[in-house]
Amino acid sequence: MTARFLQMSGIVADLLYEVDQVPVAGKEAIVSSFKIAPGGGFNAMVAAKRAGLRVCYGGSIGSGPFANLVREGLSAEEIPFLRTQDMYRDQGCCTVLIDQNGERTFIASDGAEGHVTPEALAQINFVDFEWTLLSGYALHYRNSRGALTDWLHKTPAISGLVFDPAPIVASLAPNDLQVVLSRAEWVSANLHEAAILTAHSDPVTAAKALAKDRPGGAIVRNGAAGCVVATAEICVEIPAFPVQVIDTNGAGDTHVGSFIANFSQTGDPELAARFANTAAAISTTIKGPATAPTAEQINRVLSQ
């Protein structure tokens, strides 16, 4: 492992329910399985680490049962936490309903991960990292967006900043969005998010628009259709690796983390996108969160 990856997006406790179908208002779902596990920013870190990067968590961790779960998850994956503990609140949680097709529906409430101060950010030496990941959720929380946008404004060098808009992108303040887009070397978004950012529903057009004037480029993830990767030099549609989908929870995060890891090693965005497509596809064949495969598993599939 050589390159270092810093996750600035918060980890939450995922409350994962497998249901026959998502209930309509006033109705109840039939639950076949339930578990609690670290989620949110955790999944991309696990994917990047299993694909070969050294990973650190720069977000917040609180005090309470959900925060304990997060700490245990980081410890199990041997991912260090760079900041002091928030003693005033527990970690946030996200209720995830996973239907029979593996599709997810979310309801989330923030906690410690939604509280970031300039003093907390000062505890991190950002020059130690080659890659930094920030999500739209971190810029949405009212108690973190001010410190983070100020950090984006004032930090002279944020190496390899990757922005994942997340489903919350439509609710981000335009000024905050402009700040992060002006600093990001790469943007990785699903097609819905990319369409919100660019007003283009075609993945190729959206990817080109997101990559324009960007030092790195953009990826538009499009589920079973694969993804589009665009830079100043290329714009390529990369087909998905076909699998029988069981659970899509964390697949987008797996794609982001795996892409960063492989691109840092190869310098080839097309190869990295193919690697990430395969990683994300494999992750959907396994129930549960943080199901990213290792680099060895991914390369074995790619070599077939």
Burial of residue 34 (CB within 10 Å: 0-12, 13-18, 19+) is exposed
pTM for the whole structure: 0.94
pLDDT of residue 2: 56
Q: Count CA atoms closer than 13 A to 171's CA, side-chain side.
A: 12
The tokens describing 261, both together, are 């890891």
**What string of pLDDT tens digits covers the 304 residues of the chain?**
457 999 999 999 999 999 999 999 999 999 999 999 999 999 999 999 999 999 999 999 999 999 999 999 999 999 999 999 999 999 999 999 999 888 889 899 999 999 999 999 999 988 889 999 999 999 999 999 999 999 999 988 788 999 999 999 999 999 999 999 999 999 999 999 999 999 999 999 999 999 999 999 999 999 999 999 999 999 999 999 999 998 888 899 999 999 999 999 999 999 999 999 999 999 999 987 789 999 999 999 999 8
Which sequence spans correspond to the domains of the chain? 4-23+31-302
Q: Which residue's entry shows tokens 């080109």? A: 208
Q: Count CA atoms closer than 13 A to 218's CA, side-chain side.
A: 27
Distance CA 19, CA 169 (A): 27
pLDDT of residue 1: 43
Q: Span 4-23+31-302: which CATH code?
A: 3.40.1190.20
Gyration radius of the chain's alpha carbons: 18
